[in-house]
Amino acid sequence: MRVELVLACVVFLLQSVVSLRTDRQYWIDLAQNELDEALHTKWNVNTAKNVIIFVGDGMGPNTVTATRIYKGGESHRLVYEKFPHMGLLKTYSADKMVPDSSSTATALFNGVKTNQNTVAVDATVQRRDCARSLKEEARLPSLATHALNAGKAAGFVTTMRVTHATPAPLYAHSADRSWECDGFMPDTVTECKDIARQLIEDEPGRNLNVILGGGRNTLVTPQEPSDNQWNCERRDGRDLIETYKKDKESRNLKYSVVTNNKELNGVNFNETDYLIGIFANSHLSLEYQRDKGPEGMPSISDMTGAAIKVLRRNSKGFFLMVEGGNIDMAHHRGRAKVAIDESAAMEEAVRLAVDMTDEEDTLIIVTSDHTHTLSINGYPNRGSNVFGIAQPSSFDGVNYTTLSYSVGGPETFQFYAETEDNETTVRRREASLDQTDSMNYHQIAAIRDVEGSHGGGDVTIYARGPYAHLFHNVHEQHYVFHAVMHAAQLDKATDSSAQASASAVTVIFLLAIPIKRYLLPNLQ
């Protein structure tokens, strides 16, 4: 036992020495490898049969950097950091410098920037303007809609409620992102459907091949309502999961409904064209707290693998969106390690998607909807714990952590007032008093608010596969929609449909001429 322990220590030390090499040749080799990789990069101009978009909600560049260090050190590269093409996306919305998730998701998936807190409607719709959101000219079709119209399969995976801000623009149109279910809708907007009903009852929602995530209480009226102010819960007595089943049965479609790991693992993917899995009343559990047993809920990788197995049954290809939403949830609460652990879990889902698909015909995109205010501070030594202490402040001598936020909730505001000799001094809590490496630790924030704020910085976009080279510099966020439409030739499918409609109108018009000229006079 002692020998094994000694050997393990030796291996660990050797790995540490290798990872922290600083000799000249190490840096030369590192750069030469990157140069060789760049010189051998070629454009893939095949049509994208399949498209997968990963959205790390709130996964700004600093979150990616911290995830890289967390998983392998400063010189490590995450799987998507090896993709051959990348760029930056400007995330502002139509009316705000710093955006929310519904406006940014609408930009990504629907191709137009819109107002804060609205879903898949253009900027003529102000928040809560139900009447305007019903106008057809204000509604924005999504990539999922275009994929289905082209005969492809489509679906989404999320660690959030399936009615939440990021997936909602794929299938719903709403003047308020909070209208996830009837419980959050004002009595004055009865003509507008809640987002959950649109998912199950309307197009394209009812035709989505994969719906995996949380949010049971937005779909089914709970027997015992919770007191969580953030959770939208049905009050109208509807059971939209039963509605889903009846719809699929009425159309003789092969479908599966699952609620836990055991049921998901038991799906016959050779006989399933439609899959809905709702694994929690609200959002899914954090990855480190997730019940991995038969009655528990799947990981983002588990759901991604299941989604691809269903979607690839369609010979024409598919569109899939995967959201790592708990990255954002953890950042809002100032829990940097949890956010980065969630980011690491999403990277594993990207790795799985890479392994399950072919780069020749599948465009994989990894990006974020917006940043958070996470900073990487001080001058910590290379190889040190990214969740540890950076150094003491030269101003007051109090230690601070490598990671911190500019805006945070009450738990992150670690300042306190100290009065001595009638003089009040604001002091900061000594970081070494806490276990900063704990999942429960809340990084310090300079400004206190209800919760952590989104950031307004650019986010990175990584791409591999057909037309990945279209992501090559600083882009507007809604450019992603248009680039994907081109890569998958969905724009041509749309043009073809428009031309077919125009041709039909022309035929009807031409037929009407002889009918009017010859038949109508004889009938009089």
Which residues are known catalytic residues? 101
Burial (Cβ within 10 Å: 0-12, 13-18, ≥19) of residue 304 = buried
Q: Is 151 left (phi over 0), alpha (psi -120 to 50) or beta?
A: left
CA pair distance 15, 26, nearest whole angstrom: 14
CB 78 within 8 A of CB 478: no
| Residue 316, both tokens | 């024409």
| Residue 261, both tokens | 């790991």
DSSP calls for 286-342: PGGG---STTS---HHHHHHHHHHHHTTSTT-EEEEEEETHHHHHHHTT-HHHHHHH
CA pair distance 65, 372, nearest whole angstrom: 13
Strands (E), 59-182: 85-90, 153-161
Q: N- to C-terminal Cα distance for the chain? A: 105
The structure tokens 């004889």 sit at 522
CA pair distance 237, 12, nearest whole angstrom: 58
Helix or strand run (H / E) with residue 16: helix 2-19
Strands (E), 172-308: 210-214, 255-258, 274-278
Nearest to 478 by CA among 118, 106, 107: 107
CA pair distance 67, 77, nearest whole angstrom: 10
CA pair distance 366, 154, nearest whole angstrom: 18
Q: Crossing angle for the helix pair 479-487 and 490-514, nearest 10 degrees?
A: 80
| Residue 46, both tokens | 């095949």
CA pair distance 141, 119, nearest whole angstrom: 11
CA pair distance 81, 153, nearest whole angstrom: 28
